[in-house]
Chain A
Amino acid sequence: MMVTFLNLVVISGILIGLIAGSSNDFRSHYSGDVFIKPKTEYKVIRDADKIVGIAKGLPEVVDISTRYLLPVSLENDYKKELSENKSKNISSTILAGITPADEDKVTGLSSFLVEGDFLSEDDTDKILVGSSLLSQYSDALSQNTIKNVKIGSKLRMTIGDNFHDVIVKGIIKIKVGDVSQRIFMNKKHMLNLIQLNKNDASEIAITIDPKTESAYIKESLQNSNIDKSALVQTWEEAQGKFFKDLSSTFTILGNVIGTIGLVVASITIFIVIFINAISRKKFIGILKGIGVSGSTIRYSYLFQSIFYATIGSLLGLMLLYGILVPYFDKNPIDFPFSDGILAVTAAGTTWRLGLLFLATLIAGFLPAQIVIRRNTLDSILGR
């Protein structure tokens, strides 16, 4: 019964947690709680400083990071002459111009450094490289990676028709694809490299007080006469429909597996109670013979099923909340695209507990009913 309870809660919890972990990472390390990007018909968010100013005026807003994105190519070994059949050691990627301190406050980017150092405000030609762009951090089948990049490597970054030499200062490894496939540069220096309107931005990520709903901040910003080019989203909206569909899919999958577990548990309880009742049919007959009513006997079997369910559930709950949840919180499962947590909620657990008890009651009631309905005399005489 304990295993059934865990099967009901843990399997679906892990499946949902797989997506929940990914979703949490996306929110914590990329989008923030409120995310602003250009509407489809615009290339950039105009008048970003005004938006940042309005956001900073909201007491619930904690930190803000603005990013400017540009498509670039990054080439290593560009000074080497290539033989005819060798291709360039080059990768296409997105350059994100950031204010390092702001970005770190919003996304904790520096904590994902696996090599080198984080950007400082004074860095000019230094970049951070997402590990997904580097062959040594990607599997052999990965396309679009650069080989032999180390801390201090000098790479050629091409923006449009212009190229600039940049030095790798750090390597970032994170499971959020939008981050690990980028390179990062000090926005101040990026604006020196190419002619950009410094009042424009490609993304604005905002973190807010945990007690505040993202939707509230979104509404506040929308009502503040911000530029029409800005699309304000909650972190959930920023993740898009695919994420939501994926989460629903895994929830359904978890429920299907849980239901199979529930059916197996019901059959097990049925068999246990049925064998118990059949092997004791003579004594049930005696009980009826001396005047114990069928309903009293039925209650005793229902009590037996509830006892199994209660003990199993209690053990399961202790194991779940005492060991499994704290363990997976500290040691998330290392899935390729997320750190999977055990997503269990009190409401979900209560619902599943209710289901388990209902199934157990039915599974206990049926065999008891079958045996009780037998002729009393036949039961006593073993006929």
Chain B
Amino acid sequence: MLNAKNITKTFITGEVEQKVLKGIDFSVEGGEFVSIMGRSGAGKSTLLYILSLLDETPSGQVFIKNEEITLLSGDEAVSYRLNNFGFVFQEYALLPELNALENVALPLLMRGQKRKSAYEIAKKALEQVGLENKLENFSSQLSGGEQQRVSIARAVAHNPKIIFADEPTANLDTQRACEIMNIFIDLNKKGQTIVMVTHELEYAKATHRIIELRDGLTVNDRRILDPKMLLCKL
């Protein structure tokens, strides 16, 4: 599904060059749930941004189903993201003027879907994450966990090839984080490919595979034999 080759990234601050990624190679199979781990500054989020075409100045190659997406121009990349990727941000990234239903429906509308159909799909996606009673709520009227659920619903509503999640549980308490992880696990069980950045080993262990980064290099790439749904305390 996804193939990354020799991904490098250098940040330049004044005259100081900092090489964050020093040549990462890996691939993700369709239906896989992969977690990328590493200490702060290891380059895991940077890698995710490059894979998902959010970083517009990468170095290296990213292939999706043998198509090199790193060759796409700015507008083509935006369009590719819209049609093929879902993104879950650490800070939810919901638009405050829109309610939950509208936030989820927006990418569908942008893809040219009819209003009625887009809203029906958005409603189903929100039901899938347990927010059927909060369709009309604005982000200010939702808890952190609920906002992240809306964000996940927005990411999955258009059946993307891959969902990229950047530390989706980092801003949540244990209970909410556990619930969010179970939503991802449930989605993955239905065949959704997910690449997630996390620093929580407990959550990484609930995925198929853990790629560990250190100092811009892959230091560990191991498979979890039996990933399970997490038991969340009530």
Binding site for B on A (CB under 8 A): 283, 286-296, 375-377, 380
Contacts and interface: CB of A to CB of B under 8 A. Distances in A.
A377 B55 CA distance: 6
B74 interface: yes
B57 interface: yes
B54 A376 contact: yes
Contacts of A288: 78
Q: Is the interface of A mostly helix, strand, loop or mixed?
A: helix
Interface in B49-65: 49, 54-57
Contacts of B89: 286, 289, 380
A377 B56 contact: yes
Contact of A296 (B74, B85, B87, B110): B110
Interface residues of B, number: 24
Contacts of B96: 283
Contacts, number: 56
Interface in B69-100: 74-75, 78-79, 81-83, 85, 87, 89, 93-96
B87 A290 contact: yes
Given A377-B49, A380-B93, A290 B107 contact: yes
A376 B75 CA distance: 12
A290 B82 contact: yes
A294 B78 CA distance: 9
B106 interface: yes
B110 A291 contact: yes
Contacts of A294: 74-75, 78
B78 A291 contact: yes
Interface string B155-187: 000000000000000000000000000000000
Nearest to A288: B78
A50 B223 CA distance: 117
B154 interface: yes
A291 B81 contact: yes
Contacts of A291: 78-79, 81-83, 85, 107, 110-111
14 contacts: A283-B96, A286-B89, A289-B81, A290-B81, A291-B82, A291-B83, A291-B85, A292-B78, A293-B82, A294-B74, A294-B75, A375-B57, A377-B49, A380-B54
Contact of B75 (A283, A293, A377): A293
